[in-house]
Amino acid sequence: MKVAALQMNSQPDLDYNLDQAYRLVRQAAFEGCRMACLPENFSWMARPEERAGRAAEIASRSRAFLRETSAEFDIWIAGGTYPEPDGAPGGLIFARSELVGPDGELRASYDKMHLFDVDLPGGESYRESDFIAPGQGGPTVSEDPETGAVGLSVCYDLRFPELYRALSDRGAQMLLVPSAFTRTTGQAHWHPLLRARAIENTCWVVAAAQHGRHGDNRHTFGHALIADPWGEISAEKPEGTGMAVAELDPVRLEEVRRALPSLKHRRL
């Protein structure tokens, strides 16, 4: 299965972002990919308070985009994230990630569990929990004969290996990690974390990414990539808008799991 990890530079402009995403999905389909993976915040990347204020509109148009575009190009789309209102007093949102089939039908939905509340060197500070509610659905795996078992996660989840072990326990063969890693944390941790999740779970890891500047307050790392079950990087898009494309061969996964059956050797 040929898969594309898309890299975007989303802005506080819904029309611009959806057009950018459309062109990338179209390109992936024309190159023979069966799945196109969008990054976190693919449809809106700006100050969290602005996103929360327009969440209902962004969610409605994002859902329609995913369903219509997947059906138009007969391609699976992993929908990064968009802001879904949680419906509770206080007006928080979920950071929702969807997997949509080539028929335009929703196959799986996951709300980001771990929220990015950090104070980084240089004065960068983020408080996702001021605007985002943590997902309560637990580990989510979608199974289909074409894709195999696909585990869903989002960005900061990457730092919590117990989530990926739970996805692996549910049979995941491919792990999706749509992200908007900051430039600061990405330079230090992006590659080792993604490779580690691939190695310890002997899974393919597909990590779509945001890159560059977004509005006036965010700079993301880029480097959308696909890692194989041995932890080797099969494809990478270091900079700029575009995609990393690789063939996810089930034979490769079986070879690695047969040669190094660490999942069968667990004691805990």
Catalytic residues: 40, 112, 155
Neighbours of 14 (CB within 10 A): 17
* Pairwise CA distance, residues 16 & 39, whole Å: 15
Q: Are 8 and 38 in contact (CB under 8 A)?
A: yes
Q: What is the DSSP string of 25-48?
A: HHHHHHTT-SEEEEPTTTT--S-H
Residues 108, 174, 67, 64: is their CA dihedral positive or negative?
A: positive
What are the C-alpha distances in Å from 159 to residues 4, 98, 100, 185, 246? 23, 21, 25, 11, 24
* Pairwise CA distance, residues 165 & 196, whole Å: 12
* Pairwise CA distance, residues 94 & 85, whole Å: 6
